[in-house]
Amino acid sequence: MKMPARPLHRAFTLVEIMIAIALFMMMMGSIMACWKVIVSGKETGETAAAMAQRARTSMKAVEDSLNNLELSVTNIRYYSFVADTSNPQFAALSFSARLPESFLGSDYFGDNVMRRVIFDVEKGADQKLNLVMTQYPLLAIPSDQFPPKSMVLARDVSAFVLEFWSPKEDDWLADFLKTNEVPPMIRITLGTGHSPRDPSVPFEVIQRIVVPPVMAHL
């Protein structure tokens, strides 16, 4: 009896193996590209969230200090209100305030609740601009014995703009030159980061209007 012939098993050719490897490499390349996009997007999102949170915390520090501002015309040497807006994009602000224990850095000063507070934009070690808050006891001249306490509030600051309400002009003004008075309202704009499409545009912008307490006008 004649046995049926076994089917012949055809092996892969070298060309087919090379094509299969090429297709596999293309698939792996696509997977890795997708993974890179996912990881990059996650990092960008986390960076943006951290920047937004830090900007809100920074703005709160500015608001809280202004809400506790005090001004005494009889002792203007210590209680002067100084707003430097000579640089329209990066302003500086200095005033005296009675700050609560919950305020940033209060644990460093103990019972010295009356302090001079300064907000300024300074260049950091990475050459980026940061919003820095400096404090020292009101009656103490900054020295080695009474060193001021500085802390970085917001990093990579692209704008710190101050505007002052003028009842006479019925409008916001860019300058406030009086040091023995406080404007009835202050509008603060804080911009952090830079837009990837336009580096001149801040990535995150927060704006607040603060009404100083009545005692600031005494």
Chain segment 80-130, per-residue pLDDT in tens:
999 999 999 999 999 999 999 999 889 888 888 999 999 999 999 888 999
Q: Radius of gyration (Cα) for the chain, nearest Å?
A: 30
Dihedral of alpha carbons 143, 160, 87, 130, sign: positive
Which of 49-58, 70-79, 162-171, 188-197 comes out lowest in average pLDDT?
A: 49-58
Mean predicted confidence (pLDDT) in 170-199: 89
The pLDDT score that the predictor gives to residue 43 is 62
The pLDDT score that the predictor gives to residue 203 is 78
**For the chain, how are helix, strand and coil distributed in percent, rounded to 5?**
30, 30, 40
Which of 5-19, 68-82, 105-119, 200-214 comes out lowest in average pLDDT?
A: 5-19
What would the pLDDT profile of 147-171 be if each residue is shown by its tens digit?
789 999 999 999 999 999 999 999 9
Beta-bridge partner residues of 130: 122
pTM of the full predicted structure? 0.75
State which amino acid sits at residue 76.
I
Helix (H) or strand (E) holding 67: helix 14-67
Torsions phi, psi of 87, nearest 5? Answer: -100, 105
Q: How many other C-beta atoms are found inside a 10 Å radius of the C-beta of residue 176?
A: 21
